[in-house]
Structure 1
Amino acid sequence: MLTPVPSLPKSDPLIAAAERFGQGKLANTRGKTFALAIMAGLYIGIAFTFYITVVTGAVDQSWGLTRLAGGLVFSLGLILVVLCGAELFTSTVLTVVPWANGRVSTGQMLRHWSLVFLGNLTGALTLVGLLMLANQGDLYGGQWGLSVMNLAQHKLEHSFMQAVALGILCNLLVCLGVWMSFSTKDPLGKALLLMLPVAMFVSTGFEHSIANLFLVPLGIAIRHSQEAVDWLRLGLEPSHFAHLTLASFLKNNLLPVTLGNIIGGAAMVGLAHWWIHGRTQTQSSSVPAQGEKIMINTKLTAGTLCHTLPLTIGPDTPVTQAAQQLLRRGCGAALVVENDKPLGFVDDQDLLRAYYLTEFEDTELMPVSKVMQPIRFSCDISEPLTRLACSLAVDEKTLYPVSEAGYLTSFNLDNLEQRAMNAIPQGSQLVVVTREGRLAGVIERRGVLAALTDEPWQQAPQETAEVA
C-alpha cells in the first residue's frame, strides 16, 4: 500500500524495486520457491555447459579473449534466471533489503535462503545426471570432459580465505547486475545490463557457489566414469585428479565460496545500498511511543471523505458571483458543471487570477470558464486514502522519471524532499469521485490532509449553489 510522501524513505527508486523484488520472493509458497530454485540450478548448469564448450580446445587463441567469450556466453544463465523469474541463491540474498527494513524476520529470510540453495543443488545435479547419460564428456575426443576436470580441480586449490575473497568478488558483480536490472522492465534491457558483470566475474575466475554445485560434481562424475574418460587417449592417469573429491569440494570450495557470496551480495550490494538510500524507512516505520497517536487510518477510502453535494457552478457564472459562493459556503474550490457533466473547477487562486486579468474591474462580465482548471484528478469511491494522498502529494512520474519501456530517463542527486518540491502536481485542489463511472461527489485536498492528521475539519454545507 502506498504511503504519503513525508513517510516515503526511498530517495533511490532502485531501493524500492529491490524491496519489491525481495518481498515478492519471500511471498511465494515453499513449493513454488523450491521449483523455481530447481530451474535456476538448471539454468546456471546450462550456462556452464555453454562456457565449457566455447573454451575447450582454444589453446592457440588469446587467453583474455577466450575467457571473455566464455564469460559472455555464461551470462545466459543469469539472464534466464532474471527473465524467467527463477530463484538463484546468489541473487536471492538481496532479500536482505526487506529484512533490513523490518519487513521479514531473520528466521524467515534464512529459511528462504536454505530452501533456494537446496533447490539450486537439485537442479544442478539433475543436469549433471543428464549430461552423464548423454556421455557429454567424450566430446572433442574427450577434451570436453578434460576441460571440466581441469576447471573443477583448479577450484579446489584455493586457500580458505582466497576462496572467500573470490566468492565476495563474484557475487558483488552478480548482484550489481541484478540491481541494475531493476532500472528497467524491458527484457532486452535487462539482458544487456546483466552481460558485462557476469562476463567479468567468469573471465576473471571469481567463484560462484551455484555454478560450482554443477561443475565440481560433474568433474567428479566424469573422473569416476569409465565411459566418459579414455585415459590412454588423453595420456593421463586417474591419479592426476586425485584431489577431485566430494570432501575436498565441501571443505576447500563450497563452504568458503558460499560465505563469500553472501558477503558480496547481501552486505556489499543489498545492505550497502540500503544504508546509503533506504535507512529512513526504519526510522519512519518504527513502533510509536506509548501514548503517541498513529497518524493514518489505512481503512479510510475516497467514499469516506467524499462530499456528495459539493458546491457547483455553471461555466458562465461570473467570477464575482463564483467568489461570493466560495466564501459564503467556506469551500476551497467549486466544481464547474454543465448538463450534469463536470468540466473543471475553480479555486481562490483561479479567481484572484481573474481579478488580475480584468485589472480588478468587470469581473461580473468574465465567466469562470475563462480561468477554470481542467479536472486532473479523479478516483473511484473505493480508492484507499493513502493512495489518493500520494497522488495529490507529488507527481510520481516527475519524481521517478521512467520511460514507457521501463528505463529510468534521468537520475537526480537531490534528496527526496528537494525532488518532491519540483514534482508538485497541478490541479490537485479538487478530486472528482466516481462510482461505476458516474459522478458521486468531490474531495477537497484539505479534507485529505485532515484525514491524514486525524484532525477535525468542517466541510462546506451539503447544499448546491444555483448553476448560472
Structure 2
Amino acid sequence: MSGYLKPQQIAEATVDTGTIKARNPLSAMLILGFLAGAFIALGYLLYIRVTAAAPAEWGSINSLIGAALFPVGLILVLLAGGELLTGNMMAVPLARMKGRITTGEVIRNIVVITFANFLGALFVAYFFGHVVGLTGSGPYLQKTVDVAAHKLDDSFIQAFVSGIGCNWLVALAVWLAYGSKSFSGKIMGIWFPTMAFVAIGFQHVVANMFVIPAAIFEGHFSWGQYMSNFIPVWLGNLVGGVVFVAGAYYMVYLRSQQVNNQKVTNGASEHLHAKDAGAESNSMPSGAASSPVH
C-alpha cells in the first residue's frame, strides 16, 4: 500500500477536511484557533531566540537556521491539532468550490479563525515575550523590533504580493501534509515549503500577529501601523490560498470531475426519458396513433 495520496486524492481529501472545518462547533473553532495562533507564535519565538544572538558573520546562514526552526509551529498545528487561518484559506474555499458547503459557512470560519489565531498569537507575545521577557531586552528585543520594522516598511502592494507568495507555499505545505499517510511524511511535507517562505521573507498574517505586537508591547510602533500591515497581508494570504492552490487544483482535479459527472447524469436522464416515451408509445392501441382527429 502506498504511503501517500496522489494529487487527485489529495484534492478530494482536502474537500472533506474543509467541510469538517467549516462545520465545527464555534467552541471548537475558538479553542483550536487559539492553539494554532499560539503554536505559530511559539515557532516564531524560537526563531528569534536562536537567531538573535548569532554572530553577524554568519549572514544568510543565520536566516536559514531560523527558517529551518520556524516550521515547528505548523507541525504542531497539523499534527497536534489546530485551526490555522492560512491553511483554512485553502481547504475551506475548496470545499465551497466543490459545492459541499455554503459561502456563509466559509465566511464564518475565516472570521472566527482570524480572531482566534490573533488571541493565541497575542497571548504568546504578551506573556512569554513581554512578561517573561523573552523578546524584551538585549539582542532579542533588537531582533524583534528589526523584524517587525522590516514588515511594516512594506507598502500596501508589497505586503499584499508578499502575502500571496507566503500562502502559496504554506497552503502547499498543508496540501502535502494531507497527502501523506505517515507522521514522518507529514513532517517532511510541512517542513520544506514552510522553511522556504521564511527564508525568502514572505509575510504570514498569523506570524505577524506575534512579532509586530511583541514589538508594540515593548514600546515600539503602534496598533494603527499594525493594522496597515494586517489588511494587505491578510488579503494576500487569502489570494495565495484560494487562487493559487485551491482554485488551481480545483480546475485541474475537481471541476472536470464535476462536469463529467453532470454529463453522465444528464445522459442517464435523457436515456430514461427516451425509454419512458418509447414504452408509452408501445402501450398505445395500434389504431390510435393513426386515427384522425375530427
Shorter-chain TM-score bucket reads 0.7 to 0.9
Tell me the CA shift for residue 135 of structure 1: 2.0
- Matched residue of 1:137: which SS? coil
More relative contact order in 1 or in 2 (CA 8 Å, sep 6+)? Answer: 2
Q: Is the 8 A contact 2:136 2:218 kept in 1?
A: no
TM-score by length of 1: 0.54
Stretches of 4+ aligned residues off by more than 6 angstroms: none
Residue 194 of structure 2 corresponds to residue 180 of structure 1: no
Q: Is the 8 A contact 1:58 1:66 kept in 2?
A: yes
1:6-85 paired onto structure 2 within 5 Å: 12-85=8-81
- Is there any run of 5+ residues in structure 2 with no aligned partner, and where? 1-5, 273-294
Tell me the CA shift for residue 58 of structure 1: 2.0
The answer for the alignment partner of 2:96 in structure 1 is 99
Q: Distance in 2 between matches of 1:52 and 1:11?
A: 35
Residue 84 of structure 2 corresponds to residue 108 of structure 1: no
1:99-138 paired onto structure 2 within 5 Å: 99-131=96-128, 132-138=130-136
Q: Distance in 1 between matches of 2:224 and 2:240?
A: 25
Q: Deviations over 1:162-192 (max 9, x none)?
A: 1011100000000111111122121111111
Q: Give the structure with the larger strand fraction.
A: 1
**What letter corresponds to residue 136 of structure 1 in structure 2?**
L
Q: CA RMSD of the aligned region, Å?
A: 2.2
Q: Is the 8 A contact 1:11 1:278 kept in 2?
A: no
Mark the CA change 1:175 to 1:145 in structure 2 (over 3 Å): closer, same or farther: same
**What letter corresponds to residue 135 of structure 2 in structure 1?**
G
Tell me the CA shift for residue 147 of structure 1: 1.0
Q: Distance in 2 between matches of 1:45 and 1:294?
A: 59
Q: Deviations over 1:59-80 (max 9, x none)?
A: 4333221111101100001111
**What letter corresponds to residue 245 of structure 1 in structure 2?**
S
Q: Is the 8 A contact 1:101 1:281 kept in 2?
A: no
Q: Distance in 2 between matches of 1:165 and 1:138?
A: 31
**What letter corresponds to residue 248 of structure 1 in structure 2?**
Q
**What letter corresponds to residue 157 of structure 1 in structure 2?**
D
Number of residue pairs the alignment of both structures matches: 263
Q: Distance in 1 between matches of 2:62 and 2:127?
A: 27
Seq. identity, %: 30
Higher gyration radius (CA):
1
- Selected match of 1:261 from 234, 237, 243: 237
Q: Deviations over 1:85-110 (max 9, x none)?
A: 21000000121111001111111101
Tell me the CA shift for residue 129 of structure 1: 2.1
Q: Distance in 2 between matches of 1:97 and 1:214?
A: 28
Tell me the CA shift for residue 161 of structure 1: 0.7
Tell me the CA shift for residue 280 of structure 1: 2.9
Q: Is the 8 A contact 2:49 2:140 kept in 1?
A: yes
**What letter corresponds to residue 56 of structure 1 in structure 2?**
A
TM-score by length of 2: 0.84
- Matched residue of 1:103: which SS? coil
Q: Distance in 1 between matches of 2:32 and 2:235?
A: 22
Q: Is the 8 A contact 2:49 2:134 kept in 1?
A: no
1:277-426 paired onto structure 2 within 5 Å: 277-283=253-259, 292=269
The answer for the alignment partner of 2:210 in structure 1 is 214
The answer for the alignment partner of 1:246 in structure 2 is 223
Q: Is the 8 A contact 1:138 1:145 kept in 2?
A: yes
- Matched residue of 1:279: which SS? helix
